[in-house]
Amino acid sequence: MKKNIQLQLLFLFFISIISTSLIAQESPEKVKNEITLALQQFNNAAKNANTDQLLALFDNSADILFTGSDSAEIWKGKEQIKGHLNSIFPQESVWFDMNRIDIDHNGNTAWVFVDGYINITMDKGEKIKLPYRFNGIMVKKNQAWKWRLFSGSSPAGK
């Protein structure tokens, strides 16, 4: 009888582990929708030149990176990224036409690739539209997807 109870407890233990892991896993479609929403929030914050909202979409790690096309365009940590964003805003408003979005994830880490155009409205009203793509790594923290690495560039020959 003692062995029977032990087997039943062992069985219940394994069932609880399996059910917990199944509940914890999110469907790939749900994750893609969450990340797409984060991309839309990023786009809206850039269009509204809202530096605080943009920074809130980055992880709090000291090792976060924001890079651009030029070799000197590397900003590490929120203070450097904030300085870069403050140099852009309010001189211009930026938003993206995201024509292609590729998202993949593994647990609480995802990679994102976006291809399309960057739209820039200068403070005097001049409008510029250029081919642009960005990619990066996002991590899920407190139920929200945050940038850990953002890398943007203007592809040549598009």
Q: Higher-confidence residue: 125 or 17?
A: 125
17 lies in some domain: no
pLDDT at res. 122:
87
What is the number of structural domains in the chain? 1
Q: Higher-confidence residue: 82 or 26?
A: 82
106 lies in some domain: yes
pLDDT at res. 115:
96
Residues 115-156: tens digit of each pLDDT: 999 999 988 889 999 999 999 999 999 999 999 999 999 988
Query: What is the residue type of 96?
Result: F
Cα separation values, 95 from 18, 41, 52, 108, 120, Å: 44, 11, 16, 27, 7
What is the domain-level CATH number for residue 125? 3.10.450.50
89 lies in some domain: yes
Residue 8: pLDDT band (50, 70, 90) is low
Query: Which residue, among 118, 112, 120, has the nearest Cα to 57 in the 3D structure?
Result: 112
15 lies in some domain: no
Query: What is the residue type of 100?
Result: R
**In this structure, what token pair is assigned to residue 33?**
């929708």
The whole-number average pLDDT for the span 95-100 is 95
Which class for 8: exposed (0-12), middle (13-18), buried (19 or more C-beta within 10 A)? exposed
Domain that holds residue 114: 27-153
Residue 22: pLDDT band (50, 70, 90) is very low
Residues 23-77: tens digit of each pLDDT: 456 688 999 999 999 999 999 999 998 999 999 999 999 999 999 988 899 999 9
146 lies in some domain: yes
147 lies in some domain: yes
Residue labelled with tokens 């880490």: 109
71 lies in some domain: yes
pLDDT at res. 23:
43
112 lies in some domain: yes
